[in-house]
């Protein structure tokens, strides 16, 4: 039996997909990349915002075209968790809609025999390049941000045990993983539900001891769950790279209050102050939402000023999505037209592009260690990789000029020569 899979949405969803695939492979199912070659197709959907829901529906409908060729279609993930009954009625071509609580039972539902006491985490099918992998340390979220449907979909925050995570990380290292990408809904909240207090640094210290792991990268930090000590520890670490992702969503106190974020602008500035004090060379990725129902033109202009002043390295800009079941959906009307949301989004993106390019230009003439991810699509012999400043498949890449062969998954010393296409750089092997 052969299966083709599409995993949509965030890296946390991808980890779920990889665990299901690991279980299927243990049941002698072959994983293929082309729908045409598959006996069954599985779509792991995203249901977070309108754009993600539309992408999920389009992917399901595209896969449904292969039903005429006798292929089985399975759909799971966040979209199914939110709209299972509606999807059943509107897309009858799907053979199985599986909600999140049954996701890891998909092989059994398909009649695939798997080993008893199968360890989902240690036997994941790693779909990223073999040297980098995501490590999901918890599920769900205890925050009640007014725009966000994640707590409805994924439930309350639930940490995995430190031992479970370490066992998985060791298994990844044995498979050749050198970069661990730590993901969750709120990474700084790790351990509070399980141990009664934050345990992120106890976890990170244990991960640092694993032989073979060289880089540890932190995603999904929440502004209220990090403090000054966090940055002190980060500065002292040899393996935690000077990079972190922390969505701020807005700069204005009124909007942050309406978003129910639990902090104000002063907290964001304090975090940036700690960052500059302890790890001034750290790269920061964040995200903002424009077009929230209570965002006035003045609020937006103040957000623009904040982006220009904060000079974040990387920034995702999202248009507000009016999601049913969220507090914002119940309290506000979605009064800002889509065209206006797009105007605001484009304005910030243009400013951020200039900031990112300027940040990259500051790298010129400096030496960096680069993790080799592969080779250029345009020039097949030209290696490409990332400095610590870039996350896999999210941020910019570095093209490496070299006459020596470089191996994917290895580290190389590179001197940056120039920037290209705003977000990328060019370097020469030293």
Give the model's pLDDT for residue 381.
86
- 262: helix, strand or coil: coil
d(CA 420, CA 426): 7
- Specify whether the CB–CB gap between 417 and 366 falls below 8 A: no
Query: What domains does the chain contain, in order, with CATH numbers?
Result: 2-109 (3.40.50.12160), 132-359 (3.80.30.20), 367-429 (2.40.50.140)
- Specify whether the CB–CB gap between 188 and 137 falls below 8 A: no
Q: pLDDT digit of tens for each residue in the chain (430 aa)?
A: 999 999 999 999 999 999 999 999 999 999 999 999 999 999 999 998 899 999 999 999 999 999 989 999 999 999 999 999 999 999 999 999 999 999 999 999 999 999 888 999 999 999 999 999 999 999 999 999 999 999 999 999 999 999 999 999 999 999 999 999 999 999 999 999 999 999 999 999 999 999 999 999 999 999 999 999 999 999 999 999 999 999 999 999 999 999 999 999 999 999 999 999 999 999 999 999 999 999 999 999 999 999 999 999 999 999 999 999 999 999 999 999 999 999 999 999 999 999 999 999 999 999 999 999 999 988 878 999 999 999 999 999 999 999 999 999 999 999 999 999 999 999 999 9
Give the model's pLDDT for residue 378.
83
Give the model's pLDDT for residue 339.
98
* Measured CA distances, 151 to 145, 197, 353 (Å): 9, 21, 32
Give the model's pLDDT for residue 379.
81
Q: Which of 46, 50, 81, 75 is nearest to 63 (CA)?
A: 75
Residue 245 CB-density burial (10 A; 0-12 exposed, 13-18 middle, 19+ buried): buried
One-character DSSP codes across 213-232 = --EEEE----GGG--HHHHH
d(CA 133, CA 171): 11
């Amino acid at each position: 039996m052969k299966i083709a899979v599409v995993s949509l949405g965030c890296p946390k969803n991808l980890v779920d997909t990889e665990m299901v695939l690991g279980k299927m492979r243990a049941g002698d199912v072959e994983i293929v990349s082309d729908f045409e070659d598959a006996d069954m197709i599985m779509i792991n959907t995203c249901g977070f915002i309108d754009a993600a829901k539309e992408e999920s529906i389009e992917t399901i409908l595209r896969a449904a075209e292969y039903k005429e060729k006798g292929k089985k279609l399975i759909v799971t993930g966040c979209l199914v968790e939110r709209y299972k009954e509606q999807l059943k009625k509107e897309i009858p071509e799907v053979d199985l809609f599986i909600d999140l609580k049954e996701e890891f039972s998909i092989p059994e539902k398909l009649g695939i025999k798997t080993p008893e006491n199968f360890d989902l985490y240690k036997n994941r099918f790693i779909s990223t390049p073999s040297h980098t992998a995501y490590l999901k340390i918890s599920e769900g979220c205890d925050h009640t941000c007014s725009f966000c449907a994640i707590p409805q979909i994924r439930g309350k925050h639930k940490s995995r045990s430190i031992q479970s995570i370490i066992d998985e990380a060791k298994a990844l290292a044995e498979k050749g993983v050198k970069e661990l990408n730590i993901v969750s809904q709120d990474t700084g909240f790790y351990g509070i539900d399980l141990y009664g207090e934050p345990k992120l640094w106890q976890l990170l210290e244990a991960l640092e001891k694993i032989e073979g792991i060289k880089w540890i990268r932190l995603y999904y930090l929440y502004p209220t769950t990090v403090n000054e000590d966090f940055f002190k520890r980060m500065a002292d670490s040899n393996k935690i790279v000077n990079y972190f992702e922390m969505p701020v969503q807005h700069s204005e106190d009124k909007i942050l209050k309406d978003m129910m974020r639990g902090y104000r602008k002063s907290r964001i500035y304090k975090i940036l102050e700690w960052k500059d004090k302890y790890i001034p060379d750290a790269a920061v990725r964040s995200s903002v939402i424009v077009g929230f129902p209570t965002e006035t033109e003045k609020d937006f202009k103040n957000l623009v000023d904040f982006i220009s002043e904060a000079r974040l390295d990387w920034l995702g800009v999202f248009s507000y999505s009016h999601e049913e079941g969220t507090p914002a959906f119940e309290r506000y009307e979605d009064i800002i037209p889509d065209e206006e949301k797009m105007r605001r989004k484009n304005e910030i993106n243009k400013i951020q592009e200039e900031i990112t390019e300027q940040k990259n230009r500051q790298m010129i003439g400096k030496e960096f260690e680069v993790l080799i991810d592969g080779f250029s699509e345009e020039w097949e012999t030209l290696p490409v990789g990332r400095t610590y400043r870039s996350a896999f498949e999210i941020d910019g890449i570095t093209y490496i000029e070299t006459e020596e062969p470089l191996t994917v998954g290895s580290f190389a010393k590179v001197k940056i020569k120039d920037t290209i296409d705003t977000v990328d750089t060019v370097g020469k092997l030293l």
